[in-house]
Structure 1
Amino acid sequence: MTAHNSGTAGVPGEGNSRFEVLYEDNHLLGIVKPVNIPVQEDATGDADLLSLLKEDVKERFNKPGNVYMGLVHRLDRPVGGAMIFAKTSKAASRLSESVRTHSFHKVYLTVVHGQPPASQGRLINTLLKDAKSNTVTIVRKGTPGGKEAILDYTVLGSAEGYTLLKIDLLTGRSHQIRVQLAGIGCPLFGDQKYGSAVNRPGQQIALWSALVGFPHPVTKEEIELISLPPQTFPWNLWSRHLQKQAIR
């Protein structure tokens, strides 16, 4: 089953959600994550997505007591797009197992400065995170604390000095796409952390979770959540048709 950001699949809630719902049943909730909202509570104290979703489900279904909402994967705070949550602990456990066994598939769209050296390729790096500064750097293989990061990229088009890329994420490291693409001289549009030399403060990072695919934790049916980025600059340099076709 494929759920697009033009409607809801599965069992609808009792009322309208404050979020754009891509898929919902008794086990799962798939939404379009708004940009600039942290997925989990962080040091800023700003409202976080996990807490907001619990409140949303509690209100829509008139549920007493606490609402369970399991976090299966993450998106950086400035990144938007398709995201799946588990509504039961069993669903959370089975989805986490799908992540571990690589049957959980994630595709991103991003706009970068410049152009990669090839029309498609695989980037393999070792990444090291500095928790204090919340930054990630590429380090030599074997560096203590370093984790292997792998992604495949495909060039979809170029315009006005920017390139639209499809990213198949094969590992889920912190800031992975942003760091690896900056590492080949193609920082993401709007990324202040890893592309401050070419981006202006206030620009929205052009990274979008376009597809999340996985076997349903109960029915085993293959589920795909699809969300396209907003039609604002620089995304609007390329057609919606191109973006949609690229992620299938």
Structure 2
Amino acid sequence: MRELTIGKNDAGQRVDRFVSKALPLLPPALLQKYIRLKRIKVNGGRAQRDQRLQEGDVLQLYINDEFFDKPREDNLFLTLFRPSLDIVYEDENLMLLNKRPGLVVHADETEKVNTLINHIQAYLYQKREWNPRWENAFTPALCNRIDRNTGGIVIAAKNAETLRIINQKIRDREIDKRYLCITVGAPRPPQGEVSCFLLKDEKKKQVAVYHRPVPGGKTAVTRYRTLETRGELSLLEVELLTGRTHQIRATMADLGCPLLGDGKYGDGSVNRRYGETRQALYSYRLTFDFPTDAGLLNYLRGRSFQVESVPFREKYFG
């Protein structure tokens, strides 16, 4: 319990509005709940949310210590009272989340609070599986990333050992990730493997495709298989043998079959005609294909997980 004494400059404010200013990390819905549960009191008595505070009043706040911290990027998850997650699978070591298109995985220049990692941390905090005050260094973390406008399965580690193992398995290509995408045009041949070099332009946040080694270029290997073609649109399953920025988007565009809805590498006139503003790309299936020891994650060997639905597949190929 902590106490706050109301000074002259704070007198006249409503209880709920004063507390929300004093504790900016406390979500408004949780603040109202704490008032109802009598975890916020005035002069030892029950507080009303619209009660006007007087100079000299003493607030008793029965609230977790972390809500008294100053807002920082690493504690903004506390403000998410109702985390929104589509959980594909969860156990004591990890979570598989179906990230919706439009959601960023980590904070960037456009979004600090509504991120996938913040929703994960808020969820685990509210389940009392994790609290930053219990840990010296570890924070639940993502093992892989997906672009803002791409949807699909993301792996989150609940402990340091799981994070270490999954990161190593990704590097060793022992986790099979499959994507679905819709291209404008049908690739020729309908099935194949493409090797190229991708050079990233940090200012444009875009990559260029080369078919010869270039300084700074990274090898990119992509396998694809055409599942169906209807008119000018084709549904493909894609496997990444390397994990490069915008690999599928840039590679398919270079083949002359850009992704539907892709604003960077696609055809704007076609995208507008179909009314699509996000690339039709989804990480829809993941398999823990462990040929080597996986330590405490050996129980996942051979297990495969898939999202229930991919919106653009149902829309155009349902």
Per-residue deviation at 1:63? 4.0
**SS of structure 1 residue aligned to 2:120:** helix
Return 65-74 or 146-155, whichever deviates more.
65-74
Q: Quick one: distance in 2 between partners of 1:142 and 1:62?
A: 47
Partner of 1:168: 239
Partner of 2:123: 56
After superposition, the C-alpha distances for 1:152-203 in whole angstroms (9 at most, x for unaligned) are: 1001001131000000111100000000000010000100110134322752
Pick from 225, 236, 240 the counterpart of residue 315 of structure 2.
236
Greater strand share, structure number = 1
Per-residue deviation at 1:17? 6.4
Per-residue deviation at 1:225? 2.0
Pick from 148, 151, 169 the counterpart of residue 222 of structure 2.
151
* Alpha-carbon distance change, 229 to 203 in structure 1, aligned in 2, over 3 angstroms: farther
Q: Quick one: distance in 1 between partners of 2:119 and 2:83?
A: 11
Equivalent positions of 1:39-78 (< 5 A) are 39-46=105-112, 47-61=114-128, 63-65=130-132, 68-78=139-149
* Alpha-carbon distance change, 35 to 100 in structure 1, aligned in 2, over 3 angstroms: same
> TM-score normalized by structure 2?
0.65
Q: Which is greater in Rg?
A: 2
Partner of 1:206: 280
Please say if 1:35 is aligned against 2:35: no
After superposition, the C-alpha distances for 1:77-107 in whole angstroms (9 at most, x for unaligned) are: 1011112111111101111110111101110
Q: Quick one: distance in 1 between partners of 2:206 and 2:83?
A: 34
Return 62-71 or 84-93, whichever deviates more.
62-71
Partner of 1:7: none
Per-residue deviation at 1:208? 0.5
Residue identity matched to 2:315: N
Q: Quick one: distance in 2 between partners of 1:55 and 1:135?
A: 32
Q: Quick one: distance in 2 between partners of 1:226 and 1:174?
A: 23
Partner of 1:18: 84
After superposition, the C-alpha distances for 1:14-71 in whole angstroms (9 at most, x for unaligned) are: xx96311111111101111111111111111342211221112111336433572122
Partner of 1:181: 252
Residue identity matched to 1:220: N
**Structure 1 gap segments, 5+ residues each:** 1-15, 240-248
Instruction: Using CA pairs under 8 Å that are at least 6 residues apart, name the structure with larger relative contact order, 1 or 2.
Output: 1
Q: Quick one: distance in 2 between partners of 1:236 and 1:182?
A: 22
CA contact (8 A) 2:106 2:116 kept: yes
Q: Quick one: distance in 2 between partners of 1:49 and 1:133?
A: 24
Per-residue deviation at 1:229? 4.0
Return 116-125 or 172-181, whichever deviates more.
116-125
Per-residue deviation at 1:228? 4.5
> Aligned-pair RMSD on alpha carbons?
2.0
* Alpha-carbon distance change, 61 to 117 in structure 1, aligned in 2, over 3 angstroms: same
Return 45-54 or 198-207, whichever deviates more.
198-207
Query: Number of paired residues?
Result: 223
Residue identity matched to 2:307: S
Q: Quick one: distance in 2 between partners of 1:131 and 1:153?
A: 27
Q: Quick one: distance in 2 between partners of 1:62 and 1:219?
A: 19
Partner of 2:20: none
Per-residue deviation at 1:230? 3.5
**SS of structure 2 residue aligned to 1:148:** strand
Greater helix share, structure number = 2
**Structure 2 gap segments, 5+ residues each:** 1-81
Q: Quick one: distance in 1 between partners of 2:160 and 2:150?
A: 26
Partner of 2:298: 220
Q: Quick one: distance in 1 between partners of 2:241 and 2:308?
A: 20
After superposition, the C-alpha distances for 1:97-156 in whole angstroms (9 at most, x for unaligned) are: 101111011100000001001120001110011111100111242211100001110010
CA contact (8 A) 1:107 1:212 kept: yes
**SS of structure 1 residue aligned to 2:252:** helix
